Structure 1
């Protein structure tokens, strides 16, 4: 048993670092979310920020868009050319994806500065792409409402997770402790 653990020590170390980082930051995020009462239709500040940045993005490109607080749900309505097309809820703010991204990078961490900067850069990139994802989803729903499920459940998650996957590959090949050994 000891020989097996020693043989697979890098894997077990990766797994331990990943799980610990993921659990800590998921716990912190849940602690943050518990400050808001979903039953009272309160929306967390990050989701509110994403909603307003989506509105700003669409308006920047000359689109008629408003984002308004939902009356009966903990969400924001996206009103595009006077049509209520989408809701922005807590799950739309990309924080869970960012925690997953950062956990993997941390698990393959090299030195603190490189790891921190890569997590910061990647998180900002994912966050910005997520805002564009919601904006493009809104436009897509306006012109092609029959493809709502395809856009929401397949295309746009594929884009976000695809970018995260590419960032992971870049991290492992170029910056991680593993890349430095080989």
Structure 2
């Protein structure tokens, strides 16, 4: 058993680091959500901001869109050209994806400064791409409502998780301490 632990020390370290960082960030995010009462920003600040920025992007694309509080659930209704096309819920704000991204990068950490700036740049990129993906999904749902299942369950996740995967691969091959071992 001891030989296996020694042999797979780096794998065990990666898994434990990933799980600890993921658990801590998820806990902090849950505390943030629990402290959001929805009175100022509904349903929470980050989800509200994503909804507003998506609305602004849709306006830039030339669509008459608006957002409004959903009367029956903690979400924002997204209306495009007078048609209710989507609801923006807490899960749409990309925070869980960013937490996953950060946990992986820290588990494969490289130099502290490089790791910090990569996490910052990657998180901002994920956030921005998320705004675009919600806008694209909304336009798709407006023009092709019969394709809602494919748009939401295939295209929508493919955009964000595909980009996160590419960011991870770039990190591992270029900046992580693992890449320096392979040179």
What is the TM-score when the length of structure 2 is the normalising length?
0.95
2:59 paired with 1:96: no
Give, in whole Å, the separation in 2 of the partners of 1:49 and 1:27: 21
Equivalent residues in 2 for 1:21-32, closer than 5 Å: 21-32=21-32
- Quick one: distance in 2 between partners of 1:150 and 1:4? 44
**Which shows bigger deviation, 167-176 or 1-10?**
1-10
| CA–CA separation in structure 2 for the residues paired with 1:100 and 1:81 | 35
Displacement of 1:19 in angstroms is 0.5
Alignment of 1:1-182 (within 5 A): 1-37=1-37, 42-182=42-182
CA-to-aligned-CA distance 1:28-53 (integer Å, 9 cap, x gap)? 00111111358xx9401000000000
In 2, Cα distance between the equivalents of 1:77 and 1:61? 19
Note the residue ranges of structure 1 that are not aligned, 5 or more in a row: none
Distance 1:119 1:3 in 2: 34
Q: State how far apart, in whole Å, the 2-side matches of 1:63 and 1:147 are.
A: 20
Aligned residue pair count: 180
Classify the secondary structure of the residue corresponding to 1:34.
helix
Q: Distance in 1 between matches of 2:157 and 2:172?
A: 22
Point out 4+ residue stretches in structure 1 off by more than 3 angstroms. Answer: none
CA deviation profile, 1:42-75 (whole Å, cap 9, x unmatched): 4010000000000000111221111111122111
Cα RMSD over matched residues?
1.3
